[in-house]
């Protein structure tokens, strides 16, 4: 009996090690595939709506994919526009950076007793040690950008194929389980797809809402290139907990470098506080919808593991993948303890959230005509 338990534990550990090895070495193949799988779930309702309007299935898939391409192109256009505006003021920005740099050196000399000559010696030594790395960094950036474009093209191709062959893929998954469990498998597939769709749709609406609110708030506060920083803050929402805060810190840093005073800092902090309040008590009950039901501990562990395995893409993919994995564990009796470990107990909504959910349902019914 003890030997059987030992072998079972050893087999589980070997499976985990093998899974980690596959995830690490299969990253170039698996990351675009995973992004495409999740985005295809996001676009599936659009495809079905187009098909209901009488559009040919293949044309509907192609059109929904082109809608996604157009949206991403619009975001890139706004970012490029703002970056070009920043580049036009590069000389002024360089002067501000030099001024802040000198102030920092004076502060270090005054508070820590390290003279500016000693600081310059340390900087020269560091520059001589890293001078040979500049060309390799530039080469890495160029090759990385080329790899990003290739992967982006692959994602769009995968999205088209996943939506076109979704019935075939679903049939394959169902055939992997014994006939007596196929009904449960279908329910699992349906629930996983529904949760992924609601999470991704809610996240997309949240990001767009954050773009609008941050743009208004930063513009009122007097932030230069407010739209650029609003887009950055909104996109960083894809990484829970630290995304918005990181974007706000970046906005603060750039505003200080550009010569902003304490009034501008206060305006940015007030904007961040108001946006967080609106996001937590208004937008999340209204637009996010069903949550993936992952507790904070599991969320942080998933983010850390995702970053270690796949870097930034892993952090973005960690939460929806964890939510799908939890649903699978919920429907497999042997894995139910793991679903309980990463999940969170359902709590009764506050009266405010109940009102916002009812309001959201009325808004949805008004738009859909139901």
**Residue-wise pLDDT tens digits, 309-337:** 988 888 888 888 888 888 888 888 878 88
Query: Could you write out the DSSP letters of every residue in 42-65?
Result: HHHHHHHHHHHTT--HHHHHHHHH
On whether residue 66 sits in a domain, the answer given is yes
Query: Phi then psi for 294, rounded to 5 degrees?
Result: -110, 130
Q: What is the per-residue pLDDT for 196?
A: 82
On whether residue 84 sits in a domain, the answer given is yes
Q: What is the per-residue pLDDT for 138?
A: 45
On whether residue 279 sits in a domain, the answer given is no
The dihedral through the CA atoms of 278, 279, 281, 282 has a sign that is positive
> What residue ranges of the chain have pLDDT lower than 70?
1-5, 85-146, 241, 257-260, 285-292, 345-370
Joined together, the tokens standing for residue 292 give 């993936």
What is the C-alpha to C-alpha distance for residues 148 and 312, in angstroms, rounded to an integer? 13
Q: What is the per-residue pLDDT for 162?
A: 92
How many Cα atoms sit within 13 Å of 106 on the Cβ side?
6
Q: What is the per-residue pLDDT for 36?
A: 92
Q: What is the per-residue pLDDT for 141?
A: 46
On whether residue 67 sits in a domain, the answer given is yes
Distances (CA, A) of 180 to 175, 184, 333: 11, 9, 15
Its domain, for residue 46, covers 29-106+144-164
Q: What is the per-residue pLDDT for 182?
A: 83
Count of the separate structural domains present in the chain: 1
Look at residues 158, 162, 156, 164 and name the one whose alpha carbon lies nearest to residue 51.
164
Q: CA torsion angle for 9, 13, 14, 18 (degrees, to 10)?
A: 150
Q: What is the per-residue pLDDT for 354?
A: 63
Q: What is the per-residue pLDDT for 367?
A: 44
| H or E segment to which residue 308 belongs | helix 296-310
On whether residue 354 sits in a domain, the answer given is no
The 10s digit of each residue's pLDDT in 23-65 is: 889 998 999 999 999 999 888 888 988 988 888 888 999 999 9
If phi over 0 gives left and psi between -120 and 50 gives alpha, with beta otherwise, what is residue 225? left
């Amino acid at each position: 009996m003890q030997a059987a338990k030992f072998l079972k534990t050893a087999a589980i550990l070997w499976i985990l090690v093998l899974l980690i090895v596959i995830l690490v070495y299969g990253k170039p193949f698996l990351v675009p595939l995973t992004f495409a799988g999740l985005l295809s779930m996001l676009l599936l309702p659009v495809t079905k709506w187009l098909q209901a309007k009488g559009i040919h299935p293949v044309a509907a898939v192609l059109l929904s994919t082109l809608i996604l391409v157009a949206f991403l192109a619009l975001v890139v256009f706004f970012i490029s526009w703002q970056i070009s505006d920043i580049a036009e003021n590069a000389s002024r920005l360089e002067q501000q950076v030099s001024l802040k740099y000198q102030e920092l050196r004076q502060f270090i000399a005054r508070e820590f007793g390290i003279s500016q000559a000693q600081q310059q010696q340390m900087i020269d030594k560091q520059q001589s040690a890293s001078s040979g790395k500049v060309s390799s960094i530039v080469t890495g950036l160029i090759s990385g950008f080329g790899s990003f474009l290739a992967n982006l093209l692959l994602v769009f191709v995968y999205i088209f194929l996943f939506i076109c062959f979704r019935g075939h893929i679903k049939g394959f998954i169902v055939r992997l389980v014994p006939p007596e469990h196929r009904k449960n498998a279908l329910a699992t597939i349906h629930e996983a797809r529904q949760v992924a769709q609601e999470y991704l749709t809610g996240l997309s609406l949240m990001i767009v809402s954050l773009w609008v609110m941050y743009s208004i708030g930063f513009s009122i506060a007097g932030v230069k290139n407010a739209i650029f920083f609003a887009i950055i803050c909104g996109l960083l929402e894809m990484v829970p907990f630290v995304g918005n805060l990181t974007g706000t810190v970046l906005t603060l840093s750039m505003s200080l470098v550009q010569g902003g005073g304490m009034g501008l800092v206060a305006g940015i902090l007030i904007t961040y506080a108001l946006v967080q309040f609106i996001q937590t008590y208004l937008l999340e009950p209204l637009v996010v919808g069903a949550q993936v039901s992952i507790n904070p501990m599991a969320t942080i562990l998933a983010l850390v593991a995702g970053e270690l395995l796949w870097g930034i893409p892993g952090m973005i993919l960690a939460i929806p993948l964890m939510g799908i994995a939890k649903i699978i564990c919920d429907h497999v009796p042997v894995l139910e303890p793991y679903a309980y470990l990463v999940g969170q107990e359902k709590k009764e909504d506050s009266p405010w959230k109940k009102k916002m959910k009812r309001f959201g349902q009325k808004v949805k019914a008004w738009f859909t005509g139901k």
